[in-house]
Amino acid sequence: MNTARNVPELFGSMVFNETVMKERLPKDVYRKLKKTMREGTAIDADVAAVVATAMKDWALSKGATHYTHWFQPLNGISAEKHDSFISPTDDGGVMMEFSGKELIKGEPDASSFPSGGLRATFEARGYTAWDPTSYAFVKDGSLYIPTAFCSYTGEILDKKTPLLRSMEAISAQACRVLKLFGKEVRHVTTTVGPEQEYFLIDKRDYAKRKDLIFTGRTLFGAKPPKGQEMEDHYFGSIRPRVAAFMQELDEELWKLGIFSKTKHNEVAPCQHEMAPVFTTANIATDHNQLTMEVMKRVAQKHNFICLLHEKPFEGVNGSGKHNNWSLSTDTGENLLEPGRTPSENAQFLLFLTAVIKAVDEYQDLLRISVASAGNDHRLGANEAPPAIVSMFIGDELQAILDAIESDADYTDMTKTKMDLGVSALPDIPKDTTDRNRTSPFAFTGNKFEFRMLGSAINIACPNIMINTAVAEELRLFADELESAADFESALHELIKREIKAHKRIIFNGNGYDDAWITEAEKRGLLNLKSTAEALPHYTDEKNIRLFATHGVYTRIEMESREEALLEEYYKTLHIEALTMADMAREEILPACTTFQNELAQTARNKKEVGVSNTMEVDLLRKVCGLTEELYRKCGELSDAIAQAPQADAKRLSNYYHDMVIPIMNAVRQPADDLELLVGKKYWPFPTYSDILFYV
Interface contacts to ligand ADP, rule CB under 6 A: 191-193, 195, 275-278, 324-326, 334, 431-432, 434, 444, 446-447
Other CB atoms within 10 Å distance of the CB of residue 493: 16
Closest distance between ligand ADP and the C-beta of residue 325, in Å? 6
Residue 56 binding partner per list Mg ion, ligand ADP, none, with a CB distance cut-off of 5 to 8 Å that depends on partner kind = none
- If the CB atoms of residues 317 and 638 are measured against ligand ADP, the closer one turns out to be 317
CB-nearest residue to ligand ADP: 193
Q: How far apart are CB 466 and ligand ADP at their closest, in Å?
A: 11
Report how many residues bind Mg ion under the rule CB under 5 A. Answer: 1
Provide, rounded to whole angstroms, the least separation between the CB of residue 170 and Mg ion. 22
- Closest residue to Mg ion, judged by C-beta, is 322
Alpha-carbon gap, residue 379 to 451, rounded angstroms: 10
- As a whole number of angstroms, the distance between CA 390 and CA 408 comes to 28
Which residues are within 8 A (CB) of 4 and not within 5 positions of it... i.e. 6 or more apart?
none
Q: Nearest distance from residue 278's CB to Mg ion, in Å?
A: 11
Residue with Cβ nearer Mg ion (274 or 349): 274
What does the alpha-carbon distance between residue 470 and residue 479 come to, in Å, rounded to a whole number?
14
Residue 193's binding partner out of Mg ion, ligand ADP, none, with CB under 5 to 8 Å set by partner kind: ligand ADP
- End-to-end, the C-alpha distance of the chain in Å comes to 28
Query: Between residues 63 and 429, which has the closer beta carbon with respect to ligand ADP?
Result: 429
Instruction: State in angstroms the smallest separation of the CB of 450 from ligand ADP.
Output: 11
Nearer to ligand ADP, 279 or 653 (CB): 279
Q: Which of 378, 362, 387 is nearest to 528 (CA)?
A: 387
The one-letter amino acid at 105 = K
24 vs 447, which CB is nearer to Mg ion? 447
Phi and psi at 149, nearest 5°, equal: -130, 120
* Footprint on residues 283-322 left by Mg ion (CB under 5 A): 322
The burial class, CB within 10 Å (0-12 / 13-18 / 19+), for 646 is exposed
Nearest Cα to Cα of residue 455 among 160, 269, 217, 242: 217
- Judged by DSSP in three states, 227 sits in coil
Instruction: For the CB of residue 193, give the shortest distance to ligand ADP in the complex, in Å.
Output: 3
HEC string for 620-686: HHHHHHHHHHHHHHHHHHHHHHHCCCCCCHHHHHHHHHHHHHHHHHHHHHHHHHHHHHCCHHHCCCC
Residues with Cβ within 8 Å of residue 12, at least 6 apart in sequence: 19, 254, 255, 256, 257
Q: Residue ranges of the alpha helices (H) in 584-613?
A: 589-609
Q: How many CB atoms lie within 10 A of CB 231?
A: 9
Q: Which is nearer to ligand ADP, 115 or 436 (CB)?
A: 436
If one counts every other C-beta atom within 10 angstroms of the C-beta of residue 236, the result is 12
Task: Quote the least distance from Cβ 460 to ligand ADP, whole Å.
Answer: 15
The residue (of 340 and 500) whose beta carbon lies closer to ligand ADP is: 340
Please state, in angstroms and rounded to a whole number, the distance separating the CA atoms of residues 236 and 15: 34
Beta-carbon contacts of 452 under 8 Å, excluding residues fewer than 6 positions away, are 320, 366, 367, 370, 375, 379, 384, 385, 389, 440, 441, 462
C-beta of 256: minimal distance to Mg ion in Å?
Answer: 23
Question: Which one-letter DSSP state was computed for residue 586?
Answer: I
Contact 197, 271 (CB under 8 A): yes
Which is it for the CA torsion 29, 33, 38, 40, positive or negative? positive
398 touches, from ligand ADP, Mg ion, none (C-beta below 5 to 8 Å by class): none
Under a CB-based contact definition with an 8 Å cutoff, are residues 157 and 455 in contact?
no
Instruction: Look at the chain and count its residues.
Output: 695
DSSP 334: B
Residue 493 binding target from Mg ion, ligand ADP, none, CB below 5 to 8 Å by type: none
Q: Which is nearer to ligand ADP, 278 or 348 (CB)?
A: 278
Nearer residue to ligand ADP within complex by CB, 269 or 276 = 276
Whose Cβ is closer to Mg ion: residue 322's or residue 377's? 322
Distance in Å, CB of 462 to ligand ADP, minimum: 13
326 vs 375, beta carbon nearer ligand ADP: 326
* Residue 233 lies near Mg ion (rule: CB under 5 A): no
Cβ closer to Mg ion: 450 or 538?
Answer: 450
Give, as one character, the DSSP assignment of residue 79.
Answer: B
Query: By CB neighbour count within 10 A (0-12 exposed, 13-18 middle, 19+ buried), where does 254 fall?
Result: buried
Nearest to 189 by CA among 288, 73, 336: 336
Instruction: Tell me how far apart the alpha carbons of residues 492 and 488 are, in angstroms, rounded to a whole number.
Output: 6
Report in angstroms how near the CB of residue 308 gets to ligand ADP at its nearest: 18
The distance between the two most distant Cα atoms of the chain, rounded to a whole number of Å, is 104
448 binds, among Mg ion, ligand ADP, none (CB under 5 to 8 A by kind): none
Which of Mg ion, ligand ADP, none has residue 11 at its interface (CB below 5 to 8 Å by kind)? none
Residue 502 binds which of ligand ADP, Mg ion, none (CB < 5-8 A, kind-dependent): none
Least Å from the CB of residue 306 to ligand ADP: 19
23, HSE (Cβ side, Cα atoms, 13 Å): 8
Interface map 321-360 toward Mg ion (x if CB under 5 A)? -x--------------------------------------
243 touches, from Mg ion, ligand ADP, none (C-beta below 5 to 8 Å by class): none
| CA–CA separation, 74 and 321 (whole Å) | 19
CB of 279 to ligand ADP, least distance (A): 8
- Residue placing its CB nearer to ligand ADP in the complex, 271 or 326: 326
In this structure, the strands spanning 391-392 and 86-88 are unpaired
Phi, psi of 189 (to 5 degrees): -100, 145
Q: How far is the CB of 8 from ligand ADP (least distance, A)?
A: 19
Q: How far apart are CA 139 and CA 294, in angstroms?
A: 10
- In whole angstroms, the minimum distance from the beta carbon of 322 to ligand ADP comes to 6
Residue 432's binding partner out of ligand ADP, Mg ion, none, with CB under 5 to 8 Å set by partner kind: ligand ADP
Is the CB of 83 or the CB of 333 nearer to ligand ADP? Answer: 333
What's the closest the beta carbon of residue 91 comes to ligand ADP, in angstroms? 54
- Which of 24, 322 has the CB closer to Mg ion? 322
Which does residue 221 bind out of Mg ion, ligand ADP, none, counting CB within 5 to 8 angstroms by kind? Answer: none
Closer residue to ligand ADP in complex, CB, 192/535 = 192
Q: Which does 275 bind (CB under 5 to 8 A by kind): ligand ADP, Mg ion, none?
A: ligand ADP
CB 679 within 8 A of CB 595: yes
Q: CB of residue 694 vs Mg ion: minimum separation in angstroms?
A: 28
Give the footprint of Mg ion on this chain (CB under 5 A): 322
